[in-house]
Amino acid sequence: MNVEQFFDQVLTVRLTPDRRALDIIDQTLLPGTIRRINLETKEEIWEAIKKLRVRGAPAIGVSAAYGMAVLSSRIEAADFESFYAEFTALKDYLASSRPTAVNLFWALNRMDACAKKAGQEGRSLDEIRELLYREADAIQAEDVQISRNIGEIGFGLLKKLKKDGEPVGILTHCNAGTLATAKYGTATAPMYIALEHGWAGTDMHVYCDETRPLLQGARLTSFELNSAGITTTVQCDNMASLLMKSGKIDIIFVGCDRVAANGDAANKIGTSGVAILAKHYGIPFYVCAPSSTIDRATPTGDQIPIEMRDPDEVTQMWYKERMAPQGIDVFNPAFDVTDHSLITGMITEKGLCTDPYDKDFDRYGI
């Protein structure tokens, strides 16, 4: 299949034709099974975000926006005050699904602002419901354009590394691909844009960290890139140092879930280790960050909350038999924070930012 056919197949989230439910690809079943499921209730939407059926900061934001539109369409109220009281309760409920990805709160707050503005303008409840659907559509469309802009900037970096007859070696960690966004991805966007600009899949060789314990690199990123025809290799996370030392990696692209005002970036657990290795081996390390993930209200990475997840993800989730003693303590953080000093540059849809990041965020109006 060509890349557009692939995008159509794995579109992360959309509305059902009657707009009564979210239609998502269940990422917990990939790569073995490609299955779409409908989410109609607040509990189903919350569970899908919490259990990573939909995941990736931008995709979570889009899902939350569509979720609020769908759920708001069912609010039975006589006036705006009672409508808005239930709207706020739904918003708070969805916000409790995951604590780290700032896009979740950004999208929910944007939907909230849309509802409040319409209420202040005296719009009817039917008009407000329709405006919420339009706002969710706008959030999705903007996310596609944001990823495309990030991809164009990243592709510019790839072009500088291209050598005749040799593929550009790229390392990724976790999944910041089209499955994590509305389209293109963030960390994978440069590769997809390269295909659109006429590069062959063999012009790149992407190495995917498996990304323990949930294996998003092995299950999702490698599935995406291989399906799109890009030369792809999977390696265990603890093999990254040897791989970098071998000289096969020219550049590293990772995504992020939240960026502090100073440029510290929270991403999937293990990312900070990749950055430390990249610094040692002199390999450029870029964080692909939609401006919606940049949280200027959080001064440094020390203030970013880190989600702790179920111990079973480490001890038995992927095994036929339990692989650790019963009752053993398990440390299972979902994210770590990469210090801004380890980041070569941060690719936003508005431009490439470098340290001091707060100054460049100001320059680009982020």
Give the residue numbers marked as catalytic.
257
User: What sign for the dihedral angle of Cα 268, 159, 192, 236?
Assistant: negative
CB 343 within 8 A of CB 286: yes
DSSP reduced 3-state for 286: strand
Nearest Cα to 24, choosing from 50, 51, 3, 53?
53
Please give the Cα distance from 98 to 94 (Å, whole number).
8
Residues in the chain: 366
Q: Provide the residue type at 218 as one letter.
A: A
CB 177 within 8 A of CB 321: no
Scanning the chain, the segments in alpha helix (DSSP H) are 3-9, 42-50, 57-72, 80-95, 102-120, 125-161, 189-196, 216, 222-227, 240-245, 271-281, 312-315, 357-363
Backbone angles phi, psi at 4, to 5 degrees: -70, -40
Please give the Cα distance from 228 to 113 (Å, whole number).
38
